[in-house]
Each structure stands twice: as C-alpha cells, then as structure tokens.
Amino acid sequence: ADGTHEVSVRARDQVGNWGEATRVSFTVDTIGPAAPVFLQPQNNAVLLEHDVTVRGLAEPLGRVHLELGAQYLGSVEVDTAGRFGLELADLDESPYVLRGYATDRAGNRGETAWVVFTISHIPQAPTITYPSNNLLTRLPVTHVSGVIDVGDDGTFRVYDRQVLVGQFVAPAPTFDVML
C-alpha cells in the first residue's frame, strides 16, 4: 500500500535466543504528481523578445519534462520550494505550444500541462518619403509614398489629422497611396 513502511527482522538460534532486530524503512508511492503550473510565459502571451524565460511550479524535488512543439527539450529539476525554470534562446517569430509533465522522485508521471505563446515584433515606424515633413506647397498633395518595415505583413493605415484615410496592403516594402 502507498505510504511509509518499516520492516524489522529478528533471528532466533537453536536454543531459542532472539538476536537484535534489523530495521529498514521505505516509502511506496504509486501516485503521479499534479501537472506543472506555468507561470511564465502566460498563456496566449505575445512576446517581443526571441529569448523566452520559462518559469513554473511542480512537485518539490521532482523533474519537469518539456516539449516545444514536437521537439523534446529535456527535463529540469524542481527545487525544494517547487520552482522550476528554463531559458529558451533564439526562437523564430511564430506561435508556440510548450508542454510539460512532472515526474516525482519515485518515477511516477503526472498529467501534461501546456501554454501557448507567440513570438512577434512591433513594426518599425514607416518612412514617409513624400510629402516631406513640413512641406510648404501651393500644389495639392494627392498621394503619400514611403517605405514600411519588410518584416511586416504589408498592412498599413494612412491618417490625415488623426482621421483614417484608409487601410492598405503594399505588395512590396514601398508604398504609394492616392489621397
């Protein structure tokens, strides 16, 4: 049965004298630990950095086995306070699923937990090449042109005095929009 056990053994000689007992104690543990709890990154987080810190809680002194997508990352130790952590470096811009399960010191496996996060970046501000800033002209300005960050999906918005003129998709990093 699960729990701590203590067994003692004594021997008797041919005339009936009992010797000293030898004792051993042991613990039977057949129950798996609870699923780990991911504290960082938070579920559905959008992260700007390509290096990700993983932090969580699990059964103290066990191990947490981690997978990122279909790739097994290995296992990390859980400290006496139940904390674990891992650094993931140089992740590409993409959505990710991080899965983990805990094992206890007896080798029992617990349920799997997961967290979903995305590596993304904030687009750089577009460069407006026409009209130039503070342009003074007597001719009407009929278009706006410039360059957008090539890492973006090409979607951009044009405003005139904080009023949306339109949302556009540029087929290349350059754009030219009629007003």
Region of 64 (left: φ > 0; alpha: ψ -120 to 50; beta: rest) is beta
Residue 178, pLDDT score: 77
**Which pLDDT belongs to residue 159?**
85
Are 131 and 168 spatial neighbours (Cβ–Cβ below 8 Å)?
no
Using H for helix, E for strand and C for coil, what is the string for 30-41?
CCCCCCCEEEEC
pLDDT of res. 58: 98
Q: Report how far residue 122's alpha carbon sits from residue 47's, in angstroms, rounded to the nearest whole number.
A: 10
Judged by DSSP in three states, 63 sits in strand
38, 117 contact by CB (below 8 A): no
The pLDDT value recorded for residue 150 is 58
Q: Which helix (H) or strand (E) holds 100?
A: strand 95-103
pLDDT of residue 115: 97
- pLDDT by 10s per residue, the chain, length 179: 899 999 999 999 999 999 999 999 999 999 999 999 999 999 999 998 899 999 999 999 999 999 999 999 999 999 999 999 999 999 998 999 999 999 999 999 999 999 999 998 777 788 899 898 888 888 887 788 888 875 556 677 888 888 888 777 777 777 788 77
- Residue pair 46/65 in contact by the 8 Å Cβ criterion: no
